[in-house]
Amino acid sequence: MKKIVILASGNGTNFEAICKYFSKSSKTSIIKLITDNKKAYVIERAKGLGIDYEIIDYSSFKSKKEYNDYLFDRLKDLDFDLMVLAGYMRILPGYIVRYYADKIINIHPSLLPKYPGLRSIERAYNNKEEYTGITIHYVEEEVDTGKIILQKKLKVDKNWDLEKLEEEIHKLEHQYYPQVIENLLSNSDEYS
């Protein structure tokens, strides 16, 4: 059985899509959700789906370093094959990224290297991009960099408003993120 831990900070639609995709799998299990945000809606989703969760509330730590050190300790207590960032809005420090080299993946709502960082969908929309899309990539020390595993392009219909574009981006994310996870876990010896 391959084990996944998911880190998320917000709404959690990707978290839910991944959990549902693997809900009947005998090969893959979501062992835990970790969130840095005690108010995140993803917590309600975890409760509803019956997934174990842990809140490591960023605001209760004195410093970023204390938070990251604690997160690292908690991760080391877990036995997992893949760490999946699904709307985790903090930057993992270099020592965590290096410790789990090639075991952490992220999804980003743009065609990286375009529009890294925040509000990527909105910025692409405001710039009237003809195409935008999603990127799934390994996590490296720099934000929104790392070897790209999959990109999916989306043609932006001129009649779409921002909300519609966001909806179409999320649909792509929910369709491809679980599949990529499944492929990574089944194809790679390093995960066995």
Q: Which residues bind ligand GAR (CB under 6 A)?
A: 8, 10-15, 86-87, 107-109, 120, 144, 173
For residue 92, say whether it is annotated as part of any ligand binding site: yes
Minimal distance in Å, beta carbon 144 to ligand GAR?
A: 6
Q: Catalytic annotation on 137? A: no
Query: How many angstroms separate the Cα of 30 from the Cα of each of 95, 150, 166?
Result: 24, 22, 26
Which residue is at the shortest CB distance from ligand GAR? 87
Tokens of 105: 């993946």
Query: How many angstroms separate the Cα of 176 from the Cα of each of 21, 35, 45, 76, 77?
Result: 11, 22, 20, 28, 29
DSSP annotation string for 67-87:
HHHHHHHHHHTS--SEEEESS
Rounded to an integer, what distance in angstroms lies between the CA atom of residue 154 and that of residue 130? 9
Query: What are phi and psi for residue 135, nearest 5 degrees?
Result: -130, 130
Minimal distance in Å, beta carbon 108 to ligand GAR?
A: 5
User: Considering beta carbons, is residue 15 or 58 the nearer one to ligand GAR?
Assistant: 15
Minimal distance in Å, beta carbon 105 to ligand GAR?
A: 11
For residue 14, say whether it is annotated as part of any ligand binding site: yes
**Of 108, 137, 170, 174, which is the active-site residue?**
108
For residue 1, say whether it is annotated as part of any ligand binding site: no
For residue 24, say whether it is annotated as part of any ligand binding site: no
User: Considering beta carbons, is residue 10 or 93 the nearer one to ligand GAR?
Assistant: 10
The enclosing H or E element of 15 equals helix 13-21
Binding-site residue set for (6R)-10-formyltetrahydrofolate: 64, 89-92, 106
Binding-site residue set: 12-14, 64, 89-92, 106
Catalytic sites, residue numbers: 108
